[in-house]
Amino acid sequence: MSTHPSQIAASALVDRLPVTLPRLHEMKRLGDPIVMVTAYDFPSARAAEAAGVDVVLVGDSGAMTVLGYPSTVGVELDEMLMLARAVRRGLRTPLLVGDLPFGSYEVSDEQAVATALRFIKEAGCDAVKLEGGGPTSCARARAIVGAGIPVMGHVGLTPQTATALGGYRAQGRNADAAARIAAEAVALQDAGCFSIVFEAIPSDVAALIMQRIEVPVIGIGAGPSTDGQVLVFHDLLGIREGLGARFVKRYANLQDEMAAGVAAFAGDVRTRRYPAPEHGYGIDSQELAAFAERSRA
């Protein structure tokens, strides 16, 4: 009797242990690529779980992909917590990281720790992520780590401050900018971050910075030298209009399939092809007759 590949994969996942911070560091040491995706709800979390990814980020990109904001800046903390709780209910093995939204950690160390605590206590996240490697971000990271909460850093293109960076564009494309990103990455590492995201950095620049980083680095548009890769769920599955950033590789085109499915349903309803007899429920003829009699009374 043959076994379908999906059955083999499902069987392997049953025995898979939850991903921990020591496991991620061991993967870096062994050169095992780390797989990370974003997720924003129960179905996307279940897809990540079934695929056996290592890390799931409840990214503030959910502001745009599922909540309809024009950028990540407008999303509220309570909205991010709602998304994170839904994702938590769908995960068993990947490490779950919650993205601290803009305005929820910059004011003070106390604000940053309080926000991070909510992600851990209310949403069940294993860690949090914050953007930037300047003095403020590093201070907040150090404070959160000091409170016993793991922190993932993020350098290069930081969407929350994209306006200050000149828009959604690659960073580190001259020597000064590359040196700044390198310094920020090292500073986040020194602040205690267990991992750092490199976004939209020239591949050769990322490769040189990697020589100075001892914690796992997750790349997105930073070339193949990083310890792992991440893509936004809606980008990699094509659940959005447009092509997305240069670094996006689409593995499906679900937006087109969803639109086609809804259009087919609408067509069936308008031509009365749906519902067909097989979509309905029956009733015993005697019960129907009795009901009809009562209806005439």
Q: What is the residue-wise DSSP string for 130-197? A: ----SHHHHHHHHHHHHTT--EEEEEES-GGGTTTTTSS-----SHHHHHHHHHHHHHHHHTT-SEEE
Element (H or E) spanning 246, and its range? Answer: none
Catalytic residues, by residue number, are 199
The whole-number pLDDT of residue 195 equals: 98
Extract the tokens encoding 94: 């990947």
Sorted by sequence, the CB contacts under 8 Å of residue 290 that are 6+ apart come out as: none
- pLDDT class for 103, splitting at 50, 70, 90? very high
pLDDT tens per residue, range 34-66: 999 999 999 999 999 999 999 999 999 999 999
Distance CA 176, CA 183 (A): 11
Task: Name the pairing type of β-strands 151-156 and 195-199.
Answer: parallel
280 CB burial (10 A radius; 0-12, 13-18, 19+): exposed
Residue of higher predicted confidence among 202 and 6: 202
The pTM of the full predicted model, rounded to 2 decimals, is 0.90
Residue 89 has pLDDT above 50, yes or no: yes
163-201 pLDDT tens trace: 555 556 889 999 999 999 999 999 999 999 999 999 999
Rounded to an integer, the average pLDDT of 63-80 is: 94
Mean of all residue pLDDT scores within the chain: 92
pLDDT of 11 reads 45
Domains of the chain: 5-252 (3.20.20.60), 258-296 (no CATH)
Query: Residue 128: is its pLDDT beyond 80?
Result: yes
- Residue 290: CB atoms within 10 Å: 11
* Whole-number Å distance between alpha carbons of 158 and 186: 16
Q: What does the pLDDT read at residue 244?
A: 76
pLDDT digits (tens, 9 = 90+) for 221-230: 999 999 999 9
Supply the pLDDT for residue 14.
59
Q: What is the share, in percent, of the chain residues with pLDDT greater than 90?
A: 87
pLDDT value at residue 5: 44
pLDDT at residue 165, rounded to an integer: 54
Residue 274 corresponds to which tokens in the numbers above?
A: 């749906």
- Distance in angstroms (rounded) separating the CA atoms of residues 82 and 162: 25
Res 83 pLDDT > 90: yes
Residue 2 is predicted with a pLDDT of 46
Confidence of residue 85 (pLDDT cuts 50, 70, 90): very high
- Model pLDDT, residue 8: 39
Q: What DSSP element (H or E) covers 273?
A: none
Band the pLDDT of 160: cuts 50, 70, 90. confident
